[in-house]
Every structure is written in C-alpha cells, then in structure tokens.
Amino acid sequence: SKVKDMSSEVVDSNPYSRLMALQRMGIVENYERIREFSVAIVGVGGVGSVAAEMLTRCGIGRLLLYDYDKVELANMNRLFFRPEQVGMTKTDAAVQTLADINPDVVLEEINVWTISFNILRQKLLGGERRAYKCTRRYRFSSFTLNITTVQGFETFMSSLRNKSFRPSKEGSGVDLVLSCVDNYEARMAVNQACNELNQTWMESGVSEDAVSGHIQLLIPGETACFACAPPLVVASGVDERTLKREGVCAASLPTTMGVVAGLLVQNTLKYLLKFGQVSSYLGYNSLKDYFPTMAMKPNPQCSNAACLERQKECILAKPARDAAAKAK
Ligand code: ATP
C-alpha cells in the first residue's frame, strides 16, 4: 500500500514542456517566441557566462558572445567554467559547453576573425547563412576581442548591425545587449554602441567586495544612459585604475554573481516575452538582503552626443506614443 501510484503523474522528459507550462499557466502569452530572439552578451565572466547558460537552457534563438580573456584557474570560484577549460578563450569554452546543453541555439562567439570568415564562407558556399552549431567553425580561437579598441569596437558594431538572423525586423540584428563586463571603459563602449544604434541594453555589475550588485535597463533617449549618470567615482574624476591596489585582487563569490545573473536573465525574459514588470534598476545588497529599485530619467546635459540625439527623437515621438496608448 506504500507504493506510490505513478499512473496519474505526467512524466515528460522534454525540457521545453516545463517552459511551455508557463504559457499554460497564463504567465507568458507565447513562450515559443523565445526562439525568435537574439541576445548579445558582452563579457563572458562570472555573470555573463551564467547568463548565457540560463538563456541557452530557456531556449533563446541566438546568442552572440564577446570576451577578450582566457579561462584561468582563478575563475573556478565562480560557476560555469571547468578546470579542463583553463587556457581556452572564454568564448570558445562557453560555446563548447553551451552547444552541448542546447544544440538548437545559434551561438556566435565574436573574435576579430569572425566577420571576415563569415564573409569568406558566404562567398565560397553562396546562398544564405544557415543556423549551425559553431563549435567547429572558429579555428582562430586564440584571437579575442577587446570592445574598447578601434578595431574591436568596429567589429562589435557591425556584428550588432548584422540582420541575417532577423531580416524582417526593425532596428539592429539583436533584440537586446547584456553588458556583463567589469570595468568602466568597456561599459562606456557598450553605451556608445547602443546609443548610436538606438539599441536597448541591460547593464549589470557586482561590487569589488563581492557582496552587492545591480542590474539596469537602458533605453536610448527614454532612460538615463550610462554617461547620463556615471558612477560616483568616475563623476568625481578619480581614475578607476588607481583604486586597484598592486597585488590585491577584487573579491568574488559565485553566489552574488549567480544572483545578479539570475536577476539579469529574469528581467531579460520579462522584457522579451512581455510579462510582469520589467525593472529599470534593481540593486542587491546581500548583507541586508535589501533590493533597492529606482527609475532614472535621461540627463539633458549628457556628455554623449548620440544620447542627446536619441533624447530629441524621443521628445518628438512622444505625442504619437501618447495618442497610441490612449487609443488602446
Ligand atoms: P577577475 O577580474 O576577478 O579575474 P574576470 O576578469 O573574469 O575576473 P568578471 O567580472 O568575472 O571578471 O567578468 C568580466 C568579463 O568581462 C571578463 O571575462 C572580461 O574578460 C570581460 N571584459 C572586460 N572588459 C572587456 C572588453 N573591453 N572587451 C571584451 N571583454 C571584456
């Protein structure tokens, strides 16, 4: 009589059925749309690699990964990378793992060779670029991309503009950019690219002492850009590099980075699939379990010219937007 009756339980080994249950339960209107979305992740470190894994497991259509670094033994206190991947570029190691988890996702790791290799491939083979697993595609994995260099920034921009995955859609070739880098220059480069392309993006960060973090949604012209409200240390003119003491490394915890990656991907899913309330800014203080939220308006005196252009466009488009909202 103690034997459990399994006959009434639905045993389904397809991971998608668990995701599709979100639709059956009325949380998401159309979960299948996840396959149509394309997300760029800049920085495949403690936050970015975990965010990439979460999106892959959620069945995202396409991921573009950018990083200039290699996997080190020192990264093993975080999630995702494994000791046998030490020495590989982070993008290569990520593609290796992610393609195994979900071969349906189109993964693109961007390095300096990618663009020319894709053009060459297209010329040789002709026709459309197909969606394929790219683990064997990038033989030049030791070349990585720093988005703050002139060539790196150009490659970054042209890869975001590439619309081969979503030719019928407006805007750039991606639906969202996630910034998971750990320094001001790289964040400013993402900010510049997204302001120029009118591309919505989300920023994330974890503090030097590893016990707090944040995520932020940035819509060019509509919300504050990264230059509208720079971090206090930057606004006060202190060089970020002088804060780092020689031989003293920043602290890091897999817990805080995992939480921030989770908050970032949850906001991404809400934004893409249009459910719940998308957070403008969400902080996380692990010492007090405090989650501050706020919204930031753009700064009319912002130092970024592209941001000012987007602000002007937003003001001009406001009456039409208000009328459309009223008509609903
Ligand atoms: P640590 O600094 O503690 O050794 P980390 O360098 O892995 O760790 P994380 O915060 O875990 O830093 O991740 C940030 C990621 O962003 C890193 O993988 C780093 O290589 C990447 N990154 C930072 N700046 C750039 C840039 N300009 N271009 C491309 N990737 C960048």
- Write out 218-269 in H/E/C secondary structure: ECCCCCCCCCCCCCHHHHCCCCHHHHCCCCCCCCCCHHHHHHHHHHHHHHHH
pLDDT band at 271 (very low <50, low <70, confident <90, very high): very high
DSSP-derived letter for residue 164 is S
Q: In this predicted structure, what is the pLDDT of residue 13? A: 67
* 181 Cα–ligand 1 center, Å: 5
Average pLDDT over residues 291-299: 94
Q: 243 or 76: which carries more pLDDT confidence?
A: 76
- Provide the total of helices (H) and of strands (E) in the chain, helices listed first: 10, 7
The answer to whether residue 5 scores a pLDDT higher than 70 is: no
Is 97 within 8 Å of 65 (Cβ atoms)? no
| Structural tokens at position 191 | 């900010």
Range in 2-11, 112-121, 269-278 the model is least confident about: 112-121
The answer to whether residue 235 scores a pLDDT higher than 80 is: no
36 Cβ below 6 A of ligand 1: no
Is 261 within 8 Å of 186 (Cβ atoms)? no
Q: In this predicted structure, what is the pLDDT of residue 238? A: 62
**Angle between helix 184-197 and helix 305-327 axes, rounded to 10 deg:** 50
What are the catalytic residues?
249
* 257 Cα–ligand 1 center, Å: 13
Is 166 within 8 Å of 173 (Cβ atoms)? yes
147 Cβ below 6 A of ligand 1: yes
Q: In this predicted structure, what is the pLDDT of residue 304? A: 96
Q: In this predicted structure, what is the pLDDT of residue 183? A: 93
Q: What are phi and psi of 223, to 5 degrees?
A: -120, 170
DSSP-derived letter for residue 300 is T
Cα dihedral value 66, 181, 36, 327, nearest 10: -140
| Prediction ipTM score | 0.97
Is 292 within 8 Å of 213 (Cβ atoms)? no
* 93 Cα–ligand 1 center, Å: 14
pLDDT tens-digit profile of 99-143? 888 877 777 666 544 444 444 444 444 433 333 333 333 322 223
Average pLDDT, the chain: 83
pLDDT tens-digit profile of 304-325? 999 999 999 999 998 888 888 8
Q: Candidates 181, 187, 207: which one to mutate for ligand 1, based on the most atoms within 8 Å of Cβ?
A: 181
311 Cβ below 6 A of ligand 1: no
Q: What are phi and psi of 290, to 5 degrees?
A: -110, 130
| Percent of the chain surpassing pLDDT 90 | 55
| Location of structure tokens 């509208």 | 228
Q: In this predicted structure, what is the pLDDT of residue 107? A: 72
DSSP code string of 39-52: EEEE--STTHHHHH
* 70 Cα–ligand 1 center, Å: 10
182 Cβ below 6 A of ligand 1: yes
Average pLDDT over residues 21-27: 89
Please, where are the H alpha helices in 25-75? Answer: 48-58
250 Cβ below 6 A of ligand 1: yes
pLDDT tens-digit profile of 151-173? 889 989 988 998 877 777 778 88
Q: In this predicted structure, what is the pLDDT of residue 28? A: 92
Q: 272 or 155: which carries more pLDDT confidence?
A: 272
pLDDT tens-digit profile of 26-80? 899 999 899 889 999 999 999 999 999 999 999 898 899 999 999 999 999 999 9
Tell me which H or E stretch contains 66: strand 62-66
Q: Is the pTM of this model over 0.90?
A: no
